[in-house]
Amino acid sequence: MIKFFRKIRYDLMEKNKTGKYLKYAIGEIILVVVGILIALQINNLNETKKEQAITNKYLSGFVSDLEKDRAQLDNLINIRKKQIASAKALHHMIETNDYDLDSFYGHFYYLFPFHRFIPNSNTLEEVLNSSHLRFITNEEIKNRLLDLRNEYKTIQLIEEHIYEDRSVYLYSALIMSHIELNGLFIADTGFPIEKREESFSKSKDVEVYKKDADYLMKDRHFKSFMNLLDLNLTFVIPQVEKARNDCQSIISLIEEKMKNDKIL
């Protein structure tokens, strides 16, 4: 092809057709420029496709992480609400000085397990650490993900505070000397209490359980702890619920964007 154009130029020069030669030269330059522009356009399209593929990978990763977070937050909300119910039930037993052994310990031991919230932030951390935040061009998605990250940190700080309060009381030497940790295995079969295969009232250690329960019912610190736990858990639940709702909202926002990008 190059030889073909070169031959045309030589023919025009030999025949002294300067005007036609200039027109031809200009046309050839235009063709070259057009070719370069087309090549650049193709290259830009390829780069755009590559960047879109990276963006979609991150958006899909965000959705996957957020769905796991939402499930974890739902579970945490249910656990914390049950623990509030147990704290209130125990406080009521103390106030009325009336309790059933199985019900008392069913609620008491349910306060021991502590379920930490560990966010699934792999995708966001990868984006931040690799300086790829520029691929998330939707400012609303970007800002809401960063805001949610801060919400998670707040929840973890509050939960850590609750954990410390629980540890100070539940795992103190005084309490450890007035409980049987074997009771955790009896209580671990879960609610409702009446469906458990084992019970505290029919245990071989029933007298020990009665003695310990009588002590706890009269312990002023135990009553204060029930009030404090109720207060702390009541405070954290709205924070967790907001984070759960924000998770779902961001998932919907990302899915809508990915759907629109696919259409376009």
Q: What share of the chain is helix, strand, coil (3-state, %, to 5)?
A: 80, 0, 20
Which residue has better confidence, 245 or 116? Answer: 245
Mean pLDDT of 97-108: 89
Region of 97 please: left (phi>0), alpha (psi -120 to 50) or beta.
Answer: left
Sign for the CA dihedral angle at 199, 203, 205, 207 comes to positive
The whole-model pTM stands at 0.76
Total number of domains constituting the chain? 1
In this predicted structure, what is the pLDDT of residue 170?
75
Write out the DSSP string of 91-138.
Answer: HHHHHHT---HHHHHHHHHHTS---------HHHHHHHHTT-GGG---
Tokens, residue 6: 């070169």
When pLDDT is cut at 50, 70 and 90, the band that residue 264 belongs to is very low
146 or 128, greater pLDDT: 146
pLDDT reading at 199 higher than 90: no
Quote the pLDDT of residue 113. Answer: 75
Question: Residue 4 phi/psi, 5° resolution?
Answer: -65, -45
Residue corresponding to tokens 């021991």:
112
Amino acid 19: pLDDT:
55
pLDDT digits (tens, 9 = 90+) for 64-83: 999 999 999 999 999 999 99
CB of 191 closer than 8 Å to CB of 86: no
Domain of residue 162 covers 2-263
